[in-house]
């Protein structure tokens, strides 16, 4: 996993529990479609989150890959976990790094006080009823299959003293379907001509039958 690891001497483990979930833009796609997954986050005890570094992996083959580069539009979303205090936004740092041909992606950010450079401004995480957006990760499809998204176990969520919170996560799956064959233009033209010819043939037969009936 191409996850940026932050190493700080003396960093410990915070006591509370963070929960991360994933939601796809839809559960089913056709080959050639694009989509995204929303990585959501909440806490069981209002943890004060100061930074995160998360990795998301795709299993199922190369038929679905993370887009490179990402738009990173989630950074300006009002429900983003660090909305108004994102170090990436303030300092114009990239938030995402796709890797391994698009089969994985790393995403991370710090909180920062906009009025005091590099000063942490942690966020008290919401409960399960109103989770925050942690990231919106975009992907493209190019082959049929079932693809699984999971949070890398090396991910970390930390307070302002770089103590890591314990966390649990749930992944998600999507299905990519083969697109139905579209008739070639020439075939469609021939089909239309055949139907038109059959229609005129039927009309001529009816007109002939009517004329013979009148003559009789």
Model pLDDT, residue 190: 44
Judge whether residue 4 has pLDDT over 60.
no
Judge whether residue 131 has pLDDT over 90.
yes
Model pLDDT, residue 197: 55
CA–CA gap between residue 153 and residue 168 (Å, rounded): 9
- DSSP helix, strand, coil percent of the chain (3-state; round to 5): 20, 40, 40
Going 127 to 129 to 130 to 134, the CA torsion angle's sign is positive
Mean pLDDT within 20-28: 98
Confirm if 176 and 62 have CB atoms less than 8 A apart: no
Judge whether residue 174 has pLDDT over 80.
yes
Arch. (CATH architecture) of 13-177: Sandwich (2.60)
Q: Which residues contact 117 (CB under 8 A, 6 or more apart)?
A: 90
Segments of 92-155 assigned E as strands: 96-99, 104-110, 123-124, 132-141, 145-151
For the chain, the domains span 13-177, 184-216
**Average pLDDT for the chain:** 85
CB atoms within 10 A of CB 17: 14
CA–CA gap between residue 148 and residue 183 (Å, rounded): 33
Model pLDDT, residue 46: 82
Model pLDDT, residue 20: 97
Q: Taking the model in full, what pTM does it have?
A: 0.78
Judge whether residue 78 has pLDDT over 50.
yes
Judge whether residue 163 has pLDDT over 80.
yes
Query: 3-7, 53-57, 147-151: which has the minimum mean pLDDT?
Result: 3-7
Mean pLDDT within 115-143: 97
Confidence of residue 179 (pLDDT cuts 50, 70, 90): confident
For residues 10 and 44, the model is more confident at 44
Model pLDDT, residue 18: 96
Confirm if 149 and 56 have CB atoms less than 8 A apart: yes
pLDDT digits (tens, 9 = 90+) for 200-210: 445 555 555 55
Judge whether residue 177 has pLDDT over 80.
yes
Query: 13-17, 64-68, 70-74, 186-190: which has the minimum mean pLDDT?
Result: 186-190
Mean pLDDT within 99-112: 97
Pairing of strands 164-169, 13-24: parallel
Model pLDDT, residue 67: 98
For the chain, give the percent of residues with pLDDT over 70.
75
For residues 83 and 192, the model is more confident at 83
Q: Encoding tokens for residue 163?
A: 């103590």
């Amino acid at each position: 996993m191409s996850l940026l690891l932050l190493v700080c001497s003396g960093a410990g483990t915070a006591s509370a529990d963070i929960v991360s979930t994933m939601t796809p833009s839809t559960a089913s796609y056709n080959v050639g479609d694009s989509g995204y997954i929303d990585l959501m986050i909440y806490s069981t005890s209002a943890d004060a989150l100061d930074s995160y570094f998360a990795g998301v992996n795709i299993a199922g083959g190369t038929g679905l890959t993370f887009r490179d580069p990402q738009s990173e539009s989630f950074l300006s979303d009002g429900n983003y976990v660090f909305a108004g205090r994102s170090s990436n936004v303030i300092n114009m740092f990239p938030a995402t790094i796709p890797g391994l041909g698009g089969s994985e992606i790393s995403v991370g950010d710090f909180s920062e006080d906009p009025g005091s450079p590099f000063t942490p401004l942690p966020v008290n995480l919401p409960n399960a009823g109103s989770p925050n957006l942690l990231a919106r990760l975009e992907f493209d499809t190019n082959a049929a299959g079932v693809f699984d998204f999971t949070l890398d176990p090396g991910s970390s969520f930390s307070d302002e003293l770089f103590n890591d919170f314990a966390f649990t996560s749930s992944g998600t799956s999507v299905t990519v379907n083969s697109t139905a064959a579209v008739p070639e233009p020439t075939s469609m033209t021939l089909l239309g001509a055949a139907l038109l010819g059959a229609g005129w043939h039927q009309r001529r037969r009816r007109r002939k039958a009517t004329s013979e009936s009148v003559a009789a």
